[in-house]
Amino acid sequence: MAKKQVTKKKAVVQKNIQSGRIYVTATFNNTLVNLTDQSGNSLAWSSSGASGFKGARKATPFAAITAVETVVGKAKSFGMTQAEVYIKGPGPGRDASIRALRNAGLNITMIADVTPVPHNGPRAEKKRRV
């Protein structure tokens, strides 16, 4: 006779994190939102695509707002009250995500733009000869 395997359930630990960081990456096709604690460990994430939008509608400000609202809901379930916001990218969800974070009820201590800017960039193409 085969022995039955008994699986034990892990105890659910309720996290209590007062402050954290929210990273918003706004591309031309999507908006990604990542919630971390102060040491950078990821706690929750969402995106316009994960919120149910497909195709060109992922690149809208409304889709970015819904992605931010789902992450803020998870942040409040962790007990988070204040957050630092880091924004990267030129996409259309950039300003909308900041507005959604302000209206969500989290105390925003800092907003930083961490968009990478090339100092000189790659080598230019050679001049066209006709």
| Three-class DSSP category at 122 | coil
The model's pTM: 0.81
pLDDT (average), residues 55-61:
93
The pLDDT of residue 90 is 93
Mean pLDDT of 24-31: 95
The answer on pLDDT for 13 being more than 70 is no
Residue 61 has a pLDDT of: 94
* Residue tagged 């969500």 (tokens): 104
Which residue, 29, 25, 93, is CA-closest to 55? 29
CATH superfamily of 19-113: Ribosomal protein S11/S14 (3.30.420.80)
Residue 65 phi/psi, 5° resolution? Answer: -65, -45
Residue 12 has pLDDT above 80, yes or no: no
User: If you average pLDDT over residues 35-42, what whole number do you get?
Assistant: 92
Give the single-character DSSP code of 117: -
92 close to 61: Cβ distance less than 8 angstroms: yes
Give the pLDDT confidence of 64-115 residue by residue, as tens digits: 999 999 999 999 998 999 999 999 999 999 999 999 999 998 899 999 999 9
